[in-house]
Structure 1
Amino acid sequence: MKILVLGASGATGKLLVDQLLELGRDVKVIVRASSSIPQSWGNNEQVEIIQSNIHEMTVGEMANHLKDGSAVASCLGHNLSLKGMYGEPKKLVKDAVRLVCEAYLKSTPLMPLKIVLMNTAGNSNRDLNEPVSSSQKMMLALIRTLLPPHRDNEEASDYLRLMIGQNHPSIQWAVVRPDTLIDEDKVSEYSLHASPTRSAIFNPGKTSRINVGHFMGSLIVEEKLWNKWKGQMPVLYNLNA
C-alpha cells in the first residue's frame, strides 16, 4: 500500500517523503509540473510522481489515486507572497482535505484511511479547553481577518474534527501542530503535547522541519504511536528550543 503526500515539493514535504522512503514505504506525490523536486525521486521505484494541481483535481481523479493507498499526509501551505497569501485558491488546505475525504468515501473502503495534516500551534484544538489569554485571542482574531492562510488552517482541522469526527469507520486522522518552523540538517530530540505549553504569539517555541517530517512519518507507520494520537492535534517542539 502506498502513502500519498500532498505538498511534497515544499520544504517540509520533501523531508517527509525522504523519511517515508527511509522507512521503506512506497510513496505517491502530487506536485505541480513547475515544482522543483529531488532528481533522485524520478529514479526511485518507490516513488510515483503525479503532476497535477490539487485544487483542480476532481473527486473521481483523487479516488483513483487513493485506490492503492493506506494513508495521506498533507504538508500543503500557501506561498509567502502577495499572490500566495491573498490569491486563489484561498482554501487550498481545507479543500484538499475535503477532496481526499470525499474521494475515499466515494470508493468502497476496505480499511480505514489515515490522514495526517500539518497545521500550526497557533490553531487551537477546539475539542479541548485549551487556555488562550485574552490578548492572544485578540491577536488571533486579527490574524484570522488579515491572513487568509491562517483561517484556511483552522477550517481544515475543523473539517476533520467536525465533519469526520473521532469515530468514523473509514477515516482516521491526526493534525500535527509545529510552532515556528526552522531548518536543521538532522532529526533531533523533540517533545509532544496534547496542547500548546507556550503562547504561539507571545512566547513561541521552535520546531525543525525535519522533526515534523520524522514525526508525521512515524505516525503513519507506527501503530502504537498512531493509536495514541489519532483524533488529536499534537503540538511538536524541538526539545532544546
Structure 2
Amino acid sequence: MTILVAGASGATGRQLIQQLLIQGHNVKAVARSPEKLPESWKSNEHIEIISASLLDLSDKEMMELTLGCQAIASCLGHNLNLKGIYGQPRKLVTDATRRLCNAIETNKPDSPIKFVLMNTTGNRNVDLNEPISFAQKCVIGLLRLLLPPHVDNEKAADYLRTHIGKNNQFIEWAAVRPDSLIDEDKITNYEIHPSPIRSAIFNAGKTSRINVGHFMASLIGDNDLWNKWKGQMPVIYNKSSLN
C-alpha cells in the first residue's frame, strides 16, 4: 500500500512512518520540518518526502498528493508554545482534514480510502454519548475558551463523524484517541477501548507515541482490525498505565 502521512516530522508521525515501513508499505511523508526526519529515510526508496506546509498547497496539488494513496494518516498537531497554541493556523487539523477529504472525493477513487486521524481522549465521541463528570465538563469548557488546539481537535473529528459519516462512497475513517502521550523506545502492551475508561482530566492514563504509531499502522494494514474500528473513535492506553 501507499500511505500519505501528514505531520511526518512530529514525534508521533515519525513513529507511525517507522511502523509502516516495518510492515512493508510505501510512504508519502509531508513534513513542515523535513530536517527532523531521520537521515536514513532520505535515501529510502520506500519513502517520498514532501517538504511543505499542507495548508499552503493548492487544491490541485492536494489532489495530486492524495492520488494513488490507499490510506491517509494525519498526525498533525499544534506546537506547545505561544505561537503554536495561539497563532495561525488555528484550525490546522480541521482544515487539513477537510481539504484532504475534499481531494479524495474529487479524485473519486475506485475503492474507499482509509483516513486515520490522531485525536485525543479529551474529545468525546458524541455518537456514543460518553458520560463525563460535571467537573470535567467545566474544565473542558475552559479548554475550549483558552486553548484553540482543543477546539481544533474536536472540530476535526466532528468533520469526519458528521460530514464524511459512515456511508461515504470514497472515504472510511477512524479517529484514534491516545491519553497523555509519552516517549518510549519499544512497543509495549496496550489496550483499545471504544470510549475512555478513565477521566482524561482527573485520572489520565498514559499512551506511548510508539504504541500510537503501531496501532495506526495496524489499522491501515489489517483489514479485520479496520473493519472493527472504522467509523469509530478508539481510545488507546498503555496497559501498564491501567494498573
Normalization by structure 2: what TM-score? 0.98
Is 1:201 matched up with 2:207?
Answer: no
- Distance (whole Å) between structure 2 residues aligned to residue 104 and residue 74 of structure 1: 14
Residue 35 of structure 1 and its aligned partner are, at CA, apart by 4.2
Within a 5 Å distance, the mapping from 1:114-133 to structure 2 comes to 114-133=114-133
Is 1:189 matched up with 2:184?
Answer: no
Aligned to 2:126, what secondary structure does the other structure show? coil
Q: Which amino acid letter does the alignment assign opposite residue 27 of structure 2?
A: V
Residue 77 of structure 1 and its aligned partner are, at CA, apart by 0.3
Quickly say closer, same or farther: Cα 1:197–1:33, change in 2 above 3 A.
closer
Q: Which amino acid letter does the alignment assign opposite residue 203 of structure 1?
A: N
Structure 2: state its 5+ residue gaps: none
Report if aligned partners of 2:115, 2:174 keep a CA contact under 8 Å in 1: yes
Give the total of aligned pairs: 241
Is 1:150 matched up with 2:150?
Answer: yes
Is 1:82 matched up with 2:82?
Answer: yes
- Distance (whole Å) between structure 2 residues aligned to residue 129 and residue 89 of structure 1: 30
Residue 32 of structure 1 and its aligned partner are, at CA, apart by 2.0
- Distance (whole Å) between structure 1 residues aligned to residue 214 and residue 38 of structure 2: 18
Q: What residue is the counterpart of 1:24 in the other structure?
A: 24
Aligned to 2:17, what secondary structure does the other structure show? helix
Q: What residue is the counterpart of 2:138 in the other structure?
A: 138
- Distance (whole Å) between structure 2 residues aligned to residue 33 and residue 93 of structure 1: 17
Aligned to 1:29, what secondary structure does the other structure show? strand
Aligned to 2:127, what secondary structure does the other structure show? coil
Amino-acid identity (%): 58
Is 1:66 matched up with 2:63?
Answer: no
Q: What residue is the counterpart of 2:12 in the other structure?
A: 12
Aligned to 1:240, what secondary structure does the other structure show? helix
Aligned to 1:172, what secondary structure does the other structure show? strand
Q: Which amino acid letter does the alignment assign opposite residue 176 of structure 2?
A: V
Report if aligned partners of 2:207, 2:238 keep a CA contact under 8 Å in 1: yes
Q: What residue is the counterpart of 1:38 in the other structure?
A: 38
Is 1:240 matched up with 2:240?
Answer: yes
- Distance (whole Å) between structure 2 residues aligned to residue 233 and residue 104 of structure 1: 21
Normalization by structure 1: what TM-score? 0.98
What whole-Å deviation, never above 9, does each CA across 1:149-192 have from its counterpart, x for those lacking one?
Answer: 00000000000000000111110000000000011110000000
User: Which of 183-192 and 35-44 deviates more?
Assistant: 35-44
- Distance (whole Å) between structure 2 residues aligned to residue 105 and residue 54 of structure 1: 17
Q: Which amino acid letter does the alignment assign opposite residue 204 of structure 2?
A: P
| Divergent runs of 4+, >4 A | none
- Distance (whole Å) between structure 2 residues aligned to residue 156 and residue 225 of structure 1: 22
Q: What residue is the counterpart of 1:103 in the other structure?
A: 103
User: Which of 144-153 and 103-112 deviates more?
Assistant: 103-112
What whole-Å deviation, never above 9, does each CA across 1:101-151 have from its counterpart, x for those lacking one?
Answer: 101111131110100000000100011110111110000000011000000
Q: Which amino acid letter does the alignment assign opposite residue 106 of structure 2?
A: K
Q: What residue is the counterpart of 1:93 in the other structure?
A: 93
Within a 5 Å distance, the mapping from 1:202-221 to structure 2 comes to 202-221=202-221
Within a 5 Å distance, the mapping from 1:215-234 to structure 2 comes to 215-234=215-234
Q: What residue is the counterpart of 1:47 in the other structure?
A: 47
Aligned to 1:30, what secondary structure does the other structure show? strand
Structure 1: state its 5+ residue gaps: none
